[in-house]
């Protein structure tokens, strides 16, 4: 009596006659940027004859061919599905600005909105569903200056609009008289100050000092101040007028002195300061 053939030889014999034994399949191999549909994604074993479908991931679309594969005798049929990035196309036109696509218009790329010079992006109720808007920036009320006023006086000021400050009577304006509405919604430069003339530094009294013709010096010692001929300045020529009406540090002094300089050819240079 002949023994029955073992399983491998039996399987080969039946396969040679065109018969295939049923056999489960493991998870089917997938292509790039795709996954099994529905609950099949959680399974690890599939009965013989099972047909499953793949779907492209979010942001990817089918480039054609069948998304289905079938389990036959432990093997899956070839997968034809290919997934490619979705092309969003151009976003359209933006008033007062332009759009840069970095690096392109496919899924995951960026559309960067760039406003024209002097304009800013405004968001109203979120970005979803539409582009933001490029608008002219506005400035609200300018800084208030004590003992001063500005004009024109409005609720809103447009980009680059200029205002001008003035001080009350008997007050002197120190700083920039004009400010402009900048692109960040603030006025620039810093606002001026209005200082009472009683707080100004009066004309310095300096013996043998050549001062500019002026009765009031507001913030600094006048440029070009020098001592008269035959006198030398002792102290700093750079002093500031404080709000208390005093010069700081103290004013320089002009001290009498004579300079002798050897201007003819000699073995040495003679320079003597003589204080009398």
Mean pLDDT of all residues belonging to the chain: 75
pLDDT digits (tens, 9 = 90+) for 19-63: 556 799 999 999 999 999 888 888 889 999 999 999 998 889 898
Q: Which of 11-25, 39-53, 154-168 is least confident? A: 11-25
How far is the C-alpha of 36 from the C-alpha of 212, rounded, in Å? 91
At residue 223, does pLDDT exceed 70? no
pTM score above 0.85: no
Q: Which helix (H) or strand (E) holds 10?
A: helix 7-16
Confidence tier at 269 by pLDDT (50, 70, 90): very low
What pLDDT does residue 9 have? 41
Structure tokens given for 257? 């002195």
Domains of the chain: 21-85 (2.10.70.10), 97-136 (no CATH), 139-197 (2.10.70.10), 200-261 (2.10.70.10)
Neighbours of 68 (CB within 10 A): 14
Map residue 111 onto helix, strand or coil.
strand
Q: Which of residues 78 and 213 earns the better pLDDT score?
A: 78
State yes or no: cis peptide before 103, omega within 30 of 0: yes
How far is the C-alpha of 58 from the C-alpha of 72, rounded, in Å? 30
């Amino acid at each position: 009596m002949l023994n029955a053939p073992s399983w491998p030889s039996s399987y080969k014999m039946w396969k040679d006659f065109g018969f295939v034994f049923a056999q489960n399949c493991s998870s089917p191999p997938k292509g790039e940027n795709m996954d099994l549909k529905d609950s099949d994604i959680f399974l690890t074993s599939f009965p013989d004859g099972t047909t499953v479908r793949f779907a492209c991931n979010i942001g990817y679309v089918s480039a054609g061919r069948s998304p289905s594969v079938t389990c036959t005798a432990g093997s899956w049929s070839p997968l034809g599905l290919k997934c490619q990035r979705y092309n969003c196309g151009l976003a359209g036109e933006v008033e007062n600005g332009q759009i840069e696509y970095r690096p392109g218009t496919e899924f995951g790329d960026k559309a960067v909105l760039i406003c024209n010079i002097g304009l800013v992006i405004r968001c109203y109720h979120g970005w979803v569903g539409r582009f933001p808007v490029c608008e002219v920036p506005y400035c609200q009320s300018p800084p208030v200056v004590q003992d001063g006023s500005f004009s024109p006086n409005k609720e809103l000021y447009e980009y680059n609009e200029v205002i001008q400050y003035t001080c009350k009577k008997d007050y002197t304006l120190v700083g920039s008289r004009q400010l402009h509405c900048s692109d960040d919604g603030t006025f620039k430069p810093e606002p001026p100050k209005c200082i009472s003339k009683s707080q100004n530094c009066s004309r310095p009294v300096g013996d043998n000092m050549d001062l500019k013709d002026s009765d009031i010096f507001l913030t600094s010692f006048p440029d070009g101040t020098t001592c008269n001929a035959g006198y030398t300045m002792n102290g700093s020529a750079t002093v500031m007028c404080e709000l208390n009406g005093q010069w700081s540090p103290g004013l320089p002094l002009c001290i009498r002195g004579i300079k002798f300089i050897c201007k003819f050819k000699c073995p040495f240079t003679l320079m003597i300061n003589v204080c009398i």
